[in-house]
Structure formats: C-alpha cells, structure tokens
Amino acid sequence: MKRVLSGIQPTGAIHIGNYLGAIKQWVEIGERLGKDALFCIVDYHALTNPDAYDPERLPQRTFEAALANMAAGLDPEKITLFVQSHVPEHTELSWIFTTQTPVGDLTRMTQYKDKSAKLKSVPAGLLMYPVLQAADILIYKADTVPVGEDQLQHLELTREIARRFNHAFGDTFPEPKALLNPKAPRVPGIDGAAKMSKSVGNTIELLEEPKSIWEKLRAAPTDPARVRRNDPGDPSRCLIFKYHTYFSPPEVQEAVAEGCRTAGIGCVDCKKLLFDRMMEVLGPIQERAAELRQNPEVVEAALEDGARRARAIAQETMHEVRVKIGLYKPY
Ligand code: AQP
C-alpha cells in the first residue's frame, strides 16, 4: 500500500456505518501512510442527490463532514484532508473517463439502479457518479481504497477504467484494490432492515445526542422470537447483538449471547450494555467535535492546506493525461 484515497459525501450527518465501515480504517491507515493517505469530502458527488442543491446547507454539511472526520481521529497534520470541489482536476479527468466508458457499464451499477428507481427525473450525474469516483481515485494514482461493501462494484469499474486508459495510452494508472473492514463491511440500519444509510434515515449519527441514541436503541428490533422476557432468543437474528460485535469486547459479546439464548438477560438490559459500550467509543469523538466547533478556523485551515497538497499531485497527473491523449499544446 503506497497511496490511499477515500471519500465521504456531505449528504447528511456522518453515521456509525460510515465510521465502522470506512473512517475507522482511514484513521489507522493515516497513521501508517501520513500525507499519502488522502481523504476527501466529495461535495460534487453529493450534488447527484437533488436534495443537496441547497446553497445554504451544502457548505455547512461539508464543514460538518470534515469536523466529524477530524473528531473521529483523522489528523490533518498527518494526512491529507480536503474538499473535492477545491481540486477541479477531479472533474476534468472525469470528463475524459466519461468519453471512454460505455453507458452499459454504468446502467448496470446496482447503486444507480436503486437510487434512480426512487426518482421521477434521474439526473445524468447519478449515472456518471462512478466515473467521477474513478477520477477521484486515479488522479492520485492511489493503489488502495478503503470502503464499505456497497462500493465494491464501483471500485471494480474504476479498475476497468484504469485498464482501458492504460491499454489505449500506455501505462498510467494503477488498478486500485478495495480494503474492507472485515468486522463491519455492511452495518445494518437501526430499522434492522436496510444498510445504514444517510438517505434512508435509519442511522445512529456519530455526533448524535446520547439521549437520542438511547431512544433509537430502545425502540430497535431484536430477535422477533423473543416476544416475552422469558423467551429464549437467537443472537444471530438480533440487530442489537450485531451492534455488540462492533462495540463490545469479546467477553461482553459472549455474556450477552449466552444470556440471550437462555433468557438470562432481557432485551432492554442488553441494549443498556450496548449503549454504555457505544458511548465509550462515541463520547470522546463527541468531545473532540465540541472543541472543534469552538474553533472552526482549525477545520478551515486544515481543508485549505489539504487542497493545496492534493492539487499539486492532481495537476501533475492531469498534465500527463493531457499529453498522452493528445490535447493541443497542454501546459
Ligand atoms: N452501512 C454501512 N456499512 C459500512 N460502510 C458504510 N459506508 C456507508 N454506509 C455504510 C461507507 O462509508 C463510506 C462513505 O460513504 P458515503 O457517505 O460517501 O456514501 P454512501 O455509501 O452512499 O453512504 P450513505 O450513508 O449510504 O449515504 P447516502 O445515503 O447519501 O447514499 C463509504 O466507504 C461507504 O462504503
């Protein structure tokens, strides 16, 4: 692993699915790779969601995404944290890839199918989303992309885009590999049904008030077979147990699993144990977020510095691409 790129959309509050599936790994990678760990708030991607076109809310959400990531442990002194739209080369490279990518490769993307099915009018940008994502990654010649399972198909397309370009114009881009967090590749939402997702509204937010988190846990579904307190349950069918595997140490996981099977612990007590463990992780993140909120200039300066560094690499790649594809007098 030499260079890593990953991104997060400012489409709403960052949730524990984003944290466990992606951000937690970013922090660990950042410790190892330093400035070659590039993390991007992908505001142009957010615009594929019609709700994101809100000139007042978008900058606020972008700031909040940066703040949440910094609070979760991304240290901009060590790594490169920036906003996608501050590096216009992403969209420039994206256009070149768009001209080389068959429409059929894009219409078969599961995320496109799911999201477009919910819209009356589908923006072309939603179809192009994975092409822009390929440009985000390849403009830095990143070889590794830490993501949740939902992004694997897009990453495969990135590899195809890199291959196609290399074949046509000579070796230029690496074929980046996905890096999954094996413990939390797909965190389920608090509804117990879909993947936790900002747009579905089934999230536990990273910076959510503890009281509100508890209310959500209290109302969350458990094993449907446990109708009464004395009914034995099956932890493998319980959302709360799944969350325990993310937040609780092995001995607590074992104790609650055994308690569930034997009806030795009730669901409310099991949820209380989870809540305490969850807050042990989220509490310090929320404290750091509160400090950063008092000092917004720290976040702003970090993003400005990150954009400067990212842009220097992106400009170099774009120059190479312009020369290779034969644009007139590239400079
Ligand atoms: N539930 C999840 N479990 C594991 N990983 C997840 N990720 C998202 N949800 C889960 C990972 O988080 C990173 C950033 O995601 P994103 O915000 O850029 O895009 P997303 O996957 O579209 O996230 P959402 O919350 O589902 O947003 P909306 O609703 O706006 O589409 C990615 O690495 C993603 O895999």
Domains detected in the chain: 4-187+295-325 (3.40.50.620), 210-289 (1.10.240.10)
| CA-wise closest residue to 145 among 37, 303, 33 | 37
ipTM: 0.94
Residue 18 known to bind ligand: yes
Q: Who's near 305: CB < 8 A, 6+ residues apart?
A: 76
Given 24, 141, 198, 271, which residue is catalytic?
Answer: 198
Residue 116 known to bind ligand: no
Q: Is 8 in the pocket of ligand 1 (CB under 6 A)?
A: yes
CA of 290 to the centre of ligand 1 (A): 24
Ligand 1, atom 21: closest residue by C-alpha: 150
Specify whether 195 is catalytic. yes
Q: Is 130 in the pocket of ligand 1 (CB under 6 A)?
A: no
Specify whether 198 is catalytic. yes
Residue 223 known to bind ligand: no
Q: Is 91 in the pocket of ligand 1 (CB under 6 A)?
A: no
Q: What is the pLDDT of residues 270-311, one digit of tens each?
A: 999 999 999 999 999 999 999 999 999 999 999 999 999 999
**What CA–CA distance (Å, rounded) separates 175 from 144?**
9
Q: What is the pLDDT of residues 177-200, one digit of tens each?
A: 999 888 878 999 999 989 999 888
Residue 9 known to bind ligand: yes
Q: Which residue has the higher pLDDT, 228 or 38?
A: 38
Q: Who's near 312: CB < 8 A, 6+ residues apart?
A: none
Specify whether the CB–CB gap between 138 and 316 falls below 8 A.
no
Amino acid symbol at 139: I
Residue 324 known to bind ligand: no
pLDDT surpassing 90 at residue 22: no
What is the SS3 assignment for 183? coil
Instruction: Give the mean model confidence (pLDDT) for residues 217-223.
Output: 95
Specify whether the CB–CB gap between 155 and 138 falls below 8 A.
no
Q: Is 187 in the pocket of ligand 1 (CB under 6 A)?
A: yes
pTM of the model: 0.93
Q: Is 186 in the pocket of ligand 1 (CB under 6 A)?
A: yes
Q: Which helix (H) or strand (E) holds 167?
A: helix 152-169
Q: Is 9 in the pocket of ligand 1 (CB under 6 A)?
A: yes
**Residue to probe by mutation, ligand 1, list 4, 6, 18, 45, most atoms within 8 Å of CB:** 18
How confident is residue 148, by pLDDT bands cut at 50, 70 and 90?
Answer: confident
Instruction: Give the mean model confidence (pLDDT) for residues 61-84.
Output: 97
What is the SS3 assignment for 185? coil
CA of 148 to the centre of ligand 1 (A): 7
What's the N-to-C CA distance of the chain in angstroms? 31
CA angle 30, 131, 318 (to 5 degrees): 70
